[in-house]
Structure 1
Amino acid sequence: MSQILYKNESYFVVGLCMDVHNELGKGFSEAVYGDALEIELKSNGVPFRKEVKFDIIYKGELLKHHYFADFYY
């Protein structure tokens, strides 16, 4: 059985995501939901960075493409 790291914080952020979904409903682009989630995170004092770029290492070699996280806590 796996354990959730930072369980309370995880549930809190998931709750904010649900608030966004409940307010906007379905059908918008990812960017719209991201903008709304940014508002929720800021208004609830959640520290984050948006659109963070990460290098990817494969078998010890740096790949030419990167991973971009929508939100990074």
Structure 2
Amino acid sequence: MNEDIYNTLSRKIIGACIEVHRELGAGLLESVYEECLAFELTTLGLYVERQVELPVIYKGQMLNKTFVMDIVVEELIVLELKAVQTLIPLNHIQTMTYLRMAQMKLGLLINFNVELLRDGIHRKINGKLTE
């Protein structure tokens, strides 16, 4: 996968996030933003999976526990959505952990509870985007 594909896709995702934020503003539940963002992304013709379960594998063993990623777009980009007053370091770590465990390269941590959405978007890269 080359970097241009990731960049093009992430621009579309960010555009959809901006559209949702422009329409709804801040102050709603994360689940509302997830629903609206999935609608916008699907409208753009993107393949969207919601509430994607990620099995916990510990020392080579799959355990009876899963993590849940909010949205995965085109099987390439993990979206971790928040609607909080302030992101904490754990939110960033969580997104990176999802990327590592899913063996994916790019994630976006998006906090919709901000005045300007650009202040709520954080790009996370697991390794290099090119293989």
Give 1 or 2 for the bigger CA radius of gyration: 1
TM surpasses 0.5: yes
Report what 2:45 is aligned to. 45
1:36, distance to aligned residue in structure 2 (A): 0.7
Report what 2:19 is aligned to. 19
Report what 1:62 is aligned to. 62
* Structure 2: segments with no counterpart, 5+ residues: 74-131
TM-score normalised by the chain length of structure 1 = 0.81
Calculate percent identity across the aligned residue pairs.
Answer: 34
What letter matches 1:54 in structure 2?
L
The alignment covers a number of residue pairs equal to 71
- Relative distance call for 1:21 and 1:54 in structure 2 (3 A) is same
Give runs of ≥4 in structure 1 deviating > 6 Å: none
- Relative distance call for 1:5 and 1:59 in structure 2 (3 A) is farther
User: 3-state SS of the aligned residue for 2:66?
Assistant: strand
Give the alignment's Cα RMSD to 1 decimal.
Answer: 1.8
Instruction: Point out the more displaced range, 46-55 or 56-65.
Output: 56-65
* Structure 1: segments with no counterpart, 5+ residues: none
1:5, distance to aligned residue in structure 2 (A): 6.2
Distance 2:38 2:10 in 1: 16
Post-superposition Cα deviations, 1:3-58, rounded to whole Å, max 9, x if no partner, equal: 68611111111111111111100000001101111110121111111111110223
- Relative distance call for 1:61 and 1:4 in structure 2 (3 A) is farther
Distance 1:4 1:62 in 2: 34
Distance 1:19 1:69 in 2: 22
